[in-house]
Structure 1
Amino acid sequence: MRKKRVLFVINNLSAGGAEKALVSLLHEWDYARYDVDLLLFSPTGLFLDQVPDAVRLLPAPKAFRFFDMPITQVLRHALTHFDFAPLWARLRMKNALRGSYPATVREQLTWPCIAPVIPALDEPYDAAIAYLQKTPIYYIVDKVEAPVKIGFIHNDYQHLQLRAGLDRPYFAQLQVLASISESCVHILKETFPDLASRIHLKYNMISKSMIQRLAEAPITEDFDGLTVVSIGRLQSQKAFDQAIDSCALLVAKGYRFRWYIIGEGPDRPMLEEKIKAQGLEQVFILLGLRANPYPYLQKATVYAQPSRYEGKSIAIDEAKVLGKPIVVTNYPSARDQITHRVNGLIVDMSAEAVAATLAQLLDDAALRSQLTENLRQEASVGKEELTKLYHWIENATL
C-alpha cells in the first residue's frame, strides 16, 4: 500500500516552543506509514540539526528573501533581472503597514501583499500541516495542494492580538484547527463559534527519555547553591522584566541565590539595563540560547515561569519530566499544566507574589521534595497525541 505523503510547514526552527515540539514529534513519527517533507521559510534555527534523517527538508521558497532584505536590494534585483513583482509587493506591503500595529497583525497584513510572488508547491500531498499560526497557515491554504489541511495555534489567540476577521477565511479552509491546551481551545471556539466543530485539542509531545539523557551533559556555569532557572524568549510575554523586580526583592531580604534565564530576544538591551540599574549582574544572569537546556534544568533548585500569558509551555513540561519544583504565574492556561501545591505553585502575577513564593520554596526543602515526588508519579504526554494526528490525516474532511 502506498505510504501517504505529509508536509509540515513552519517559519524556521528557532528556539521556540512550537519549533521544539515539532522536532520532538518528528522523532516519534511512524515513517513506515507516512513519508514526511518539511518546509521552512528560513532554513535556520537552533533545532535544525535535530531534524531526523528520515525527514526530507525542502528548499526554502526563494521569494521570501525579498521581504527580509533592504528595499534598495529589491530595486537592484528588479532592474538587473527585469523582475518587478517583488518590488511591487514590497511597495504594497509598505502601504498596508502604514500606522501602528502589533507585530502579529503586521504579519497578517503582510501575507496578501507577498502571496502573489510566492510560488505554489509543485508536488501534491495527502496532508499539509501548518505547525504555527499566521503565515504557515496562510501558505498551506493558498500554496499547497492537499485534501487534508491542518493548522496549529500555539498560543492564547486573544493575547496574540490577531485580527479574527483576517484569519477566518483561512481557518474555514482547514479540516482541523488544533491548539495545545484546554484554555486555548476554549478561546478559539469563543472567537470562531462557526468553526467550533473543527477546533480540537492536541497536546505538544515531549520525549521523556531524550530529556533525561540530554540532562546528563556537562555545563561550564557554576550551579552550586540555590538556583532558579527560567526558559523563554526575551520578550514582554515572558515577563522577565517583572522577574528582575522579584529577584531584587529576594536579594533585599538577604537571599543568596542565582536566577538564570535561558533564551534570547528583542528585550535583551532593556533587561540588561534594568539588571544593571538594580545591581543584579551577578544574580540575575541572561545565559542566552542553549541548544541543550536540560542540564541547567537538572541542576536548578526551582523552575520559574513568570509569564503574562502562555499557550501551553513546553518548558514547564520539560521541568516536570526532570522533577523540578515549579512556580508559575496565574495566566489563563496555567491550570492546564499545574495543580496548585500538587505539582507546582501558582502565584499572582506580581513581582511581590513571585518573590514570596520563590522564598517559600528556597526555604522549604521538604516542600520541594514533596513536589518532586508528586511529579515522579505523574504520567507524561505520550504517543496517543500522535495517534490523534494520524487520525486527522486519515479521516478529516470538511
Structure 2
Amino acid sequence: MKKKVLFMVINMNVGGVEKALLNQLKKMSPKEYSVKILMLEKYGDFLEDIPQWVEVDYFKNYQRVKYLFNTPPKDIILNFLKDRKFLKASYYLALFLITKLFGSRELLLKSILLKHPNYSERFDEAIAYAGPMSLIDYYVLKKIDASKKIGWIHFDITTIGLDKKLINNIYKGFDEIRVVSKDAKDKFDGIFPLLKKKTKVAYNVILKEEILKLGSEKGFDDSYKGLRLLTVGRVSKEKGQDLAIEALKKLLDTGIDAKLYLVGDGGFRKECELLSRKLNIFENVVFLGTQKNPYPYMRECDIYIQPSRYEGYCITLAEALIFNKPIVATKFTGALEQLKGNKNSEIVDYSSEEIFKGVLKILKKGDER
C-alpha cells in the first residue's frame, strides 16, 4: 500500500525551498508514495516542473486569511468602518485586544481559520515544508488529519523575526522537526530547548548528475574576456547582492577587469540597480533575471560568490560546489558545514570589504598554481 504524504508550501516560485522540494519529489517513487502538494497560492515558474504523478491543490481564501493575519489591526478595523461593517469592526477590535492581552497570535489564527473546514483527506505524513511559516505550520497541525506531522525548517531562525511563543506552541504538537543543516538545528535547539528531542538534521537533496547534465548547456552569451563573478538567488536584502556589488567596485578600483552577474529576481533588484549606478559600475553588473537553469553560468563563471546575510542550508552553494568552482561565501549558517575541507573557497565576514579580500585571496591562489 502506498504511503500518503502531503507537503504544504507557499507557492512554487523559483527559490531554494521550492527547488529542494522538487529534488525531494524526484527521489520519491510513485510506486511507493502517493503525494499531494497543498499551496497557499497558485504561483511560480516551478509549477510546470512538478512531476505529473504528484497531485496539487490550493488553499481556499488565502488572500483573506493573509490580509487578516498580516495587516496591522488598525488598518483592518478602519477598513471595516469605511465599508460600514460595524459588527466586524467590533469583533476584530475585541479579537486584537484579547490577542494583545494574552500575548498570543495563536488566538488570532484560530479565530481566522475557525470557519475554514478541515482538509478532506487523511495522510500518513503531513509536512509543513516551508517552516517556520505560522499559517502553514498551524494549518498542518490543526486542520489536517495525519498519523505523523512534521515541521521542516529551512532557515536560520535567529536571523528572522519570529513569534517565539506561537512557534513553540505549534511545534510542540509536531511529531518531528527536520532542520536543513546541523548549524541551523543547533540554533533552533538553542532557542527552543524543550523541543530538542524532536529535531533532526535533514539535508536538502542535491541531484548531482542532473545538475551536471543541465550545466552542459550554453550560459553566458556575451564575448566578455575578463573575470566573471557570479551569484545566484532571489534578489533580496538577506541574499546580500548589494555587498557583492560593492565588492566589485573595490575590485575595479584596484585595476582588475571584472563583471558581476546576478541570476535571480526580486524586490531588492531596483535597489541593487540604483547602487550600481551610484557607484558608476552599472555596465559591469549584469542582471540576468530568473533562470530555471542557472547551472551553465555556474560552470562557466570564474568565481562563485554567495554573499548572503543569512541562510539555513544554501542550496545554490551546494550546487556551485558540484562544478568545482572557486567560491567566496559569507559565514552564514551552514557555510562552514558545506565548505568544510574545500581548499578552493574562502569564508568571510558579512561585508563588501571582506568579500573583496576573499576574491583577492582566490585570485592569488590561482596565480600560485
TM-score range, shorter chain: 0.7 to 0.9
Report the Cα offset of residue 349 of structure 1. 2.2
Q: Which residues of 2 match residues 297-316 of structure 1 at below 5 A? A: 297-316=298-317
> 1:18 maps to what in 2?
17
Structure 1 CA distance for aligned equivalents of residues 19 and 185 of structure 2: 20
Report the Cα offset of residue 351 of structure 1. 1.3
> 2:176 maps to what in 1?
176
Structure 2 CA distance for aligned equivalents of residues 215 and 261 of structure 1: 17
Runs of 4+ in 1 over 4 A off after TM superposition: 67-71, 87-96, 107-110
Structure 1 CA distance for aligned equivalents of residues 15 and 202 of structure 2: 18
Per-residue CA deviation, residues 207-239 of structure 1 (Å, 9 max, x unaligned), is 111111111223463264321111122222112
Report the Cα offset of residue 136 of structure 1. 2.1
Structure 1 residue identity aligned to 2:307 = P
> 1:385 maps to what in 2?
none
Contact 1:61/1:119, CA 8 A, preserved across alignment: no
Structure 2 CA distance for aligned equivalents of residues 90 and 249 of structure 1: 57
Cα gap change, 1:137 to 1:30, in 2 (>3 Å): same
> 2:203 maps to what in 1?
203
Report the Cα offset of residue 112 of structure 1. 4.3
Structure 2 CA distance for aligned equivalents of residues 290 and 311 of structure 1: 22
Q: Which residues of 2 match residues 186-225 of structure 1 at below 5 A? A: 186-219=186-219, 221-222=221-222, 224-225=224-225
> 2:242 maps to what in 1?
241
Per-residue CA deviation, residues 71-122 of structure 1 (Å, 9 max, x unaligned), is 8xx98xx99xx9x99x7799579958x99xxxxxxx9897445322433211
The residue matched to 2:5 in structure 1 has which SS?
Answer: strand
Cα gap change, 1:309 to 1:110, in 2 (>3 Å): farther
Task: Identify, as 1 or 2, the structure richer in strand.
Answer: 2
Cα gap change, 1:324 to 1:215, in 2 (>3 Å): same
Report the Cα offset of residue 173 of structure 1. 0.9
Further displaced range: 217-226 or 132-141:
217-226
> 1:132 maps to what in 2?
130
| Equivalent in 120, 123, 143 of residue 121 of structure 2 | 123
Cα gap change, 1:113 to 1:283, in 2 (>3 Å): farther
Q: RMSD in angstroms over aligned alpha carbons?
A: 3.1
Cα gap change, 1:136 to 1:67, in 2 (>3 Å): closer
Structure 1 CA distance for aligned equivalents of residues 194 and 187 of structure 2: 13
Report the Cα offset of residue 129 of structure 1. 0.9
Cα gap change, 1:253 to 1:161, in 2 (>3 Å): same
> 2:36 maps to what in 1?
37
Further displaced range: 344-353 or 303-312:
344-353
Structure 2 residue identity aligned to 1:120 = N
Structure 1 CA distance for aligned equivalents of residues 283 and 40 of structure 2: 39
Contact 1:93/1:110, CA 8 A, preserved across alignment: no
Asked if 1:270 is matched to 2:284, the reply is no
Q: Which residues of 2 match residues 216-365 of structure 1 at below 5 A? A: 216-219=216-219, 221-222=221-222, 224-225=224-225, 226-339=227-340, 342-362=343-363, 364-365=365-366
Report the Cα offset of residue 153 of structure 1. 0.8
> 1:162 maps to what in 2?
162
TM-score relative to the length of structure 2 = 0.86
Contact 1:297/1:319, CA 8 A, preserved across alignment: yes
Structure 1 residue identity aligned to 2:350 = M
Structure 2 CA distance for aligned equivalents of residues 109 and 270 of structure 1: 38
Runs of 5+ in structure 2 lacking a partner? none
Per-residue CA deviation, residues 24-83 of structure 1 (Å, 9 max, x unaligned), is 11011022111111111112112111111110112x122113256898xx98xx99xx9x
Structure 2 residue identity aligned to 1:160 = I
